[in-house]
Amino acid sequence: MPSSSTLTKAVILVGGHGVRLQPLSYYMPKPMMPLLNRPFLEHIIAYLAKFKVTDITLALSYLPELIRSHLGDGSNLGVQLHYTVEDSPLGTAGAVKNANRYLDSTFAVLNGDIFTDLNIADMLAFHQHKKAKVTIALTWVDNPCAFGVVETDSEDRVRRFTEKPNTNKVTTHWINAGIYILEPEILRHIPVSSYYMFERGLFPLLLKLNEPVYGYPFRGYWLDMGTPEKYLCLNCDLLLAKMSSPLTPGLGQNSVCCEKDATVHPSAKIMGPAVIGSRCQIDQRARIEGPVIIGEDCYVGEDTSIEKAMLWQGISIGAGASLKGCIIGSNIRIEEGKQVTNRIVTLDHTGLPGESCLRADEAG
């Protein structure tokens, strides 16, 4: 089957609970975690819609009803959403095979924890020019040892995959970026209702079969938000306008975006970039120095100090408290006068508040 002239279909691999993002992801799938006070997944859907990719399947496994009930049929985001749910883990390729009934033309696949500015239209043109059956987006990283390395020839045809190579075996710094364009006929190589991976199963098999698999190199923005540090870094990058999202245009280095029904005391000082959610109350002499994101229904007490922090929703910060380099989960109360630096404070799997370390050097 030849490539479609346009790309309208995509599968987003929403995946599991995100072990590396615990404790933030105990009660929520990682793609539903807030990014500038909107679920991360909404940003990814809006990104696809910008390129006219509007027929989108979400491959779900962890807390699927939470996602389905929030997003519905996708019409509020200008797309048509389909859902598939894994009864048992299927792996990356197995999850796409599970969506087979929606994939009758050229389609894209995205890992649900990747944020990027990759131009999918340009990637599609590359895919069509090469007459590829699979095109894999490649991004350059300084240290590829934690990723899947992809070796290509001078024509960008993939020659070999190496998963997480040792330092002395690194042959390239181009890694699998978790974004693919595929022709539907390759789905026949994926077993039904079985755990099967793109990286270790399908792609190496296609190379053995001499199918045309190409790597599309790009040097734009790419971030895997798979750890709390990278998650905070992504929020800060968007606030600092290092990257943009179709859902949050107009953010700048010193901008302060405050919902109209938020209440800010005249003596409070807010230095951007900052986003303040609906129904928030910022009390007298509070000092907020961006990048800072404050979610809905938060209370910031008098004489508090907040710097480079992300607050989810329903949080109460007691008078005189100081927060710096933090992520505060929903429905947490920070006691008066408490100092919280480079910490994650959230409800753990027992439903009780707990703290863990946030590595400041990895949070951007």
Rounded Cα–Cα distance for residues 39 and 10 (Å): 19
Give the single-character DSSP code of 164.
Answer: S
Asked if residue 256 is part of any domain, the answer here is yes
One pLDDT digit (tens) per residue for the chain, 364 residues: 444 468 999 999 997 544 456 667 666 778 889 999 999 999 999 999 999 999 999 999 888 898 999 999 999 999 999 999 998 899 999 999 999 999 999 999 999 989 999 999 999 999 999 999 999 999 999 888 888 889 999 999 999 988 887 888 788 889 999 999 999 999 999 999 999 999 999 999 999 999 999 999 999 999 998 888 999 999 999 999 999 999 987 777 789 999 999 999 999 999 989 999 999 999 999 999 999 999 999 999 999 999 999 999 999 999 999 999 999 999 999 999 999 999 999 876 666 667 777 776 566 5
Q: Which tokens belong to 166?
A: 């040792």
Helix (H) or strand (E) holding 179: strand 174-182
Same-domain pairing of 302 and 207: no
Distance, in Å, from the CA atom of 250 to the CA atom of 268, rounded to the nearest integer, reads 24
Which of these three, 181, 200, 224, is where a domain ends? 224
Buried b (16+ CB within 10 A) or exposed e, 118-155: bebeebbebbbebebbbbbbbbeeeebeebbbbebeee
Which two three-digit tokens encode residue 344? 């994650």
Q: 216: closest CA among 300, 132, 97, 321?
A: 132
**Residues facing residue 13 across a β-bridge:** 59, 111
For residue 131, is it within any domain?
A: yes
The total number of structural domains in the chain stands at 2
Total-model pTM: 0.91
Among the candidates 191, 224, 257, a domain finishes at: 224
The verdict on 282 and 250 lying in the same domain is yes
CA atoms of 297 and 279, how far apart (whole Å)? 5
DSSP character at residue 15: E
Question: Which residue range is the domain that position 160 belongs to?
Answer: 9-224
Give the pLDDT confidence score for residue 70 in this predicted structure: 94
Is residue 213 assigned to a domain? Answer: yes
